[in-house]
C-alpha cells in the first residue's frame, strides 16, 4: 500500500491523476502537464511535496554535526539561511541532494528526497558525530508555492513580511500563513520565484485550500509531479536517481559550487573530490538540445561516431523552451558548449548539441 | 466516458479506423489521448511505406510516456498528417478529426470488418 500525504483526499477531490512515486501515492497531473508548467512560469502553481523527508539536528554541536555530513557550508550561513548541498559518501558520489536550513547553530533542519528518506536517515545516524539526528518526516507536510505571483499570494495570507527585502532567495522565516503555523522558505525547484511552506500534517489541507482560494485571481493551479519534472529539467536541476546518484561525483555532476573543499572541519567525500579535482574529470553532466527530431529520455544511449559514450539521464520536450532537451554524462572532451554527439532513439541516431544551461531563461 | 463515435472501428490498442472511399484514415481514440496526457511528439511513417495489421507503425509521446502506435489493418500509407510535426497537441484537441494520424490504402479491405465496433470498444474501455 502506497503511502499517502495529508493532502491525498484533496488531490482526489480535485480530480488528480495519481501515480506511485517512490512508494507514495502522488498526483502526476490535475489538468494538463503543459498547462500546469505554463501556470508556474507565468502565474502561480501549488505542489504537494509532503513526501519529502525532514531530518533535524538540535542541541549544542548541531551545526558542526550536520555540517560534516554535507558538502556545502552552513558555518558560512546566517541564521535564517538555507543551502542546497550534497550528502556525499566517501567516494564523493551522492547519497542524496538536500536543502539544509540553519535556524541557529543549535538547530539545523535538512530536507531530503522522499525516495531516500530512510537511507539518508540511517546514513546520518551512522556518520553523525556528537549530535544524533531525528527523523521529523512525519511531523511536517510541505506545500511549494511557485511562480511570479507566489509572493503576492503568500503575502495576502500572512502578517509576516515575505518581501524579497525581508525573506530573500534561500532565506526563511517562521510565521502564520492562513492562520497555519509555517516555516516560510523562499526556495523551490522550478526556476521561478516562490516559497516552500512546511506545516503540521493536520493543517495541510487548510493551508492548501486557503492558497487555492486566495490565488483564484492569480490563476493559481494545483500542479503535479509531471510539471515539476519538466520545470526542473528546463533549469538543469538534477534529480536524484536520474542525473545524480552514488555512481557519479558532485564534480562530475557540475555541482562544484555546492562543494566547499576548504571548509573548516571538512566533510565526508572531501578527499575523493580533491583527488578527482587534481587528476581532472573524465566525464561531465551536460545539457544538450536535439537538433534532429525526437525526444530524449532517461536511459537512451549517447553515441559519438557510432560508439556508445554515455547515457541520457533526463530528457523532455521543454514546454517553455519548446525544444527537445536533455542531460547526460559524456566524456569531458565532448562537454564543451557546441560539442555534438548523437542520441539513440529507438535504434535511430539523432543529432544533439551541448548548449548553455539553464535551458530556460526569463524572456 | 470519452467520446466513442458509432461510425468508426477500433483496436484493443485504442486506435480508430474510418473508411473513406477506397482509403482508411487512422488515429487514436479520445480515451487514448486522455490517458496519454499532453502529446508532444508523433513519429509518423513515411508516405509509401507499408503497414502490417497489428504491427507498430509509429510512436506517440506525451510529456511523460512513450507509446507505440499499432496498425489496425494492413496497407500502403498514402498520406500522413504533417500538422502533427509542428502541433502534436492536435491529437489531444481533436482526436477523431484534425488529429488523425495516417491515411492508408488497405491491402485487404476485409480486415476493417474484423475490428471492434463502438459498442465492443466501449466495453473494453469500461473494463480498463
Angle, alpha carbons A242-A244-A246 (nearest 5°): 110
For residue A1, the model assigns a pLDDT of 74
C-alpha torsion sign, points A219, A222, A226, A228: positive
Summarize pLDDT for A204-246 with one digit per residue, the tens: 999 999 999 999 999 999 999 999 999 999 999 999 999 999 9
Q: Where are the domains of chain B?
A: 9-127
- The average pLDDT across A150-174 equals 98
Secondary-structure class of domain B9-127 per CATH: mainly beta
Band of pLDDT at residue A357, cut at 50, 70 and 90: very high
Establish if A315 touches chain B: CB-CB under 8 angstroms: no
User: Considering only CB atoms, which chain B residues are within 8 Å of A32?
Assistant: 37-38, 92
Quote ipTM for the complex: 0.84
For residue B64, the model assigns a pLDDT of 78
Flag if B63 and A317 touch (Cβ within 8 Å).
yes
Band of pLDDT at residue B127, cut at 50, 70 and 90: confident
- The average pLDDT across B59-85 equals 95
pLDDT surpassing 90 at residue A173: yes
pLDDT surpassing 80 at residue B2: no
- Residue B113: exposure state from Cβ atoms within 10 A (0-12, 13-18, ≥19): exposed
Summarize pLDDT for A65-91 with one digit per residue, the tens: 999 999 999 999 999 999 999 999 999
> By percentage, how much of chain A surpasses pLDDT 90?
99
C-alpha grid cell, residue A24: 507514495
Average pLDDT score over chain B: 94
Establish if A92 touches chain B: CB-CB under 8 angstroms: no
User: Considering only CB atoms, which chain B residues are within 8 Å of A28?
Assistant: 64
pLDDT surpassing 90 at residue A286: yes
Summarize pLDDT for B100-114 with one digit per residue, the tens: 999 999 999 899 999
Band of pLDDT at residue B1, cut at 50, 70 and 90: low
- The average pLDDT across B70-77 equals 97
Q: Which of A33, A293, A316 is opposite residue B37, by nearest beta carbon?
A: A33
Contact between A319 and A331 (Cβ < 8 Å): no
Segment 76-115 of chain B within 8 Å of chain A by CB: 85, 89, 92
Q: pTM, whole model, 2 decimals?
A: 0.94
User: Considering only CB atoms, which chain A residues are within 8 Å of B63?
Assistant: 33-34, 226, 230, 316-317, 319
Flag if B38 and A34 touch (Cβ within 8 Å).
yes
For residue A360, the model assigns a pLDDT of 97
For residue A349, the model assigns a pLDDT of 97
Angle, alpha carbons A206-A212-A215 (nearest 5°): 130
Residues 6+ apart with CB under 8 A from A138: A201
Amino acid at each position: 500500500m502506497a503511502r499517502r500525504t495529508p493532502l491525498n483526499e484533496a488531490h482526489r477531490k480535485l480530480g488528480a491523476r495519481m501515480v506511485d512515486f517512490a512508494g507514495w501515492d502522488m498526483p502526476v497531473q490535475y489538468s494538463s502537464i503543459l498547462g500546469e508548467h505554463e501556470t508556474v512560469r507565468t502565474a502561480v502553481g501549488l505542489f504537494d511535496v509532503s513526501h519529502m523527508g525532514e531530518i533535524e539536528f538540535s542541541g549544542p554541536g548541531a551545526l558542526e554535526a550536520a555540517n560534516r555530513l554535507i558538502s556545502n557550508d552552513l558555518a558560512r550561513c546566517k541564521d535564517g539561511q538555507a543551502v542546497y548541498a550534497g550528502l556525499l559518501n566517501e567516494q564523493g558520489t551522492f547519497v542524496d541532494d538536500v536543502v539544509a536550513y540553519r535556524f541557529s547553530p543549535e538547530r539545523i533542519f535538512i530536507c531530503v528526497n522522499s525516495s531516500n528518506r530512510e537511507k539518508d536517515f540511517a546514513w546520518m545516524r551512522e556518520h553523525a558525530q556528537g549530535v544524533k539526528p531525528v527523523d521529523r518526516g512525519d511531523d511536517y507536510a510541505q506545500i511549494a508555492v511557485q511562480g511570479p505571483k507566489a509572493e503576492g499570494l503568500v503575502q495576502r495570507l500572512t502578517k509576516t513580511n515575505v518581501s524579497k527585502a525581508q525573506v530573500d532567495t534561500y532565506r526563511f522565516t517562521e510565521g502564520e500563513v492562513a492562520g497555519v503555523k509555517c516555516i516560510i522558505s523562499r526556495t523551490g525547484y522550478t526556476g521561478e520565484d516562490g516559497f516552500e511552506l512546511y506545516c503540521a500534517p493536520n493543517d495541510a489541507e487548510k493551508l492548501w485550500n486557503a492558497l487555492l482560494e486566495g490565488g483564484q485571481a492569480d490563476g493559481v493551479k494545483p500542479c503535479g509531479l509531471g510539471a515539476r519534472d519538466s520545470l526542473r529539467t528546463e533549469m538543469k536541476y538534477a534529480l536524484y536517481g536520474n542525473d545524480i546518484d552514488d555512481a557519479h561525483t558532485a564534480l562530475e555532476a557540475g555541482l562544484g559550487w555546492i562543494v566547499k573543499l576548504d571548509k573548516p572541519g571538512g566533510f565526508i567525500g572531501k578527499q575523493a573530490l580533491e583527488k578527482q579535482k587534481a587528476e581532472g574529470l573524465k566525464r561531465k553532466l551536460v545539457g544538450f538540445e536535439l537538433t534532429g527530431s525526437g525526444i530524449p529520455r532517461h536511459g537512451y544511449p549517447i553515441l559519438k561516431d557510432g560508439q556508445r559514450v554515455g547515457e541520457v539521464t533526463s530528457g523532455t520536450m521543454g514546454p517553455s523552451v519548446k525544444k527537445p532537451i536533455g542531460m547526460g554524462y559524456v566524456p569531458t572532451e565532448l562537454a564543451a558548449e557546441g560539442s555534438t554527439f548523437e542520441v539513440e532513439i529507438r535504434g535511430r541516431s539523432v543529432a544533439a548539441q551541448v548548449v548553455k544551461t539553464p535551458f530556460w531563461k526569463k524572456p | 466516458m470519452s467520446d466513442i463515435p458509432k461510425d468508426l472501428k477500433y483496436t484493443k490498442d485504442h486506435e480508430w479506423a474510418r473508411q473513406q472511399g477506397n482509403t482508411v484514415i487512422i488515429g487514436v481514440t479520445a480515451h487514448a489521448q486522455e490517458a496519454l496526457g499532453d502529446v508532444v511528439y508523433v513519429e509518423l511513417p513515411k508516405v509509401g511505406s507499408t503497414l502490417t495489421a497489428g504491427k507498430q507503425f509509429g510512436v506517440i509521446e506525451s510529456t511523460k510516456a512513450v507509446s507505440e502506435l499499432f496498425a489496425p489493418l494492413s496497407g500502403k500509407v498514402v498520406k500522413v498528417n504533417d500538422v502533427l510535426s509542428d502541433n502534436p497537441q492536435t491529437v489531444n484537441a481533436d482526436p477523431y478529426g484534425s488529429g488523425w494520424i495516417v491515411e492508408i490504402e488497405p491491402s485487404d479491405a476485409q480486415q476493417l470488418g474484423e475490428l471492434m465496433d463502438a459498442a465492443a470498444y466501449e466495453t473494453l474501455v469500461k473494463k480498463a
